Amino acid sequence: LAKTTQPISMDSYEGQEVNITCSHNNIATNDYITWYQQFPSQGPRFIIQGYKTKVTNEVASLFIPADRKSSTLSLPRVSLSDTAVYYCLVGDSRNSGGYQKVTFGIGTKLQVIP
């Protein structure tokens, strides 16, 4: 199971770009990297997923270096509504039969300050 490490918390002012880095040193060849966002008392919500290089959608960008041992979620110009917990997940492709075990961890609590 690929273990991930990310900062417990971050603060940012409104309008700034926020970068949250996740380490996953033992990522497997077939593993993808996925980020989720969770608001208080709600279920997590998928944000973005990638395998290598850069992925961008309407919400965020995901940067993955060539060695894939880390990844960075980039949120452009954050607003107060981006205050949430962000989880980095790495797909477990190594269980027998390809069964999906997913480990969320505690995530990164982002606090956006006015």
Partner 1 sequence: EAQVTQNPRYLITVTGKKLTVTCSQNMNHEYMSWYRQDPGLGLRQIYYSMNVEVTDKGDVPEGYKVSRKEKRNFPLILESPSPNQTSLYFCASSLFPSQVANEQFFGPGTRLTVL
The residues that touch partner 1, with contacts defined as CB under 8 A, are 30-34, 36, 41-46, 49, 87, 89-93, 97-107
* Closest separation in Å from C-beta 16 to partner 1: 26
Q: Please identify, using beta-carbon distances, which residue of 9 and 16 lies nearer to partner 1.
A: 9
| Partner residues linked to 104 by β-bridges | none
Nearer to partner 1, 16 or 57 (CB): 57
Backbone angles phi, psi at 81, to 5 degrees: -70, -10
CA distance 30 to 41: 32
Q: How far apart are CA 87 and CA 37, in angstroms?
A: 6
CB of 68 to partner 1, least distance (A): 13
Q: Smallest gap, in angstroms, from Cβ of residue 114 to partner 1?
A: 26
Which SS3 state, helix, strand or coil, does residue 40 take? Answer: coil
- Identity of the residue, 41 or 81, whose beta carbon is nearer to partner 1 in the bound complex: 41
Q: DSSP code of 5?
A: B
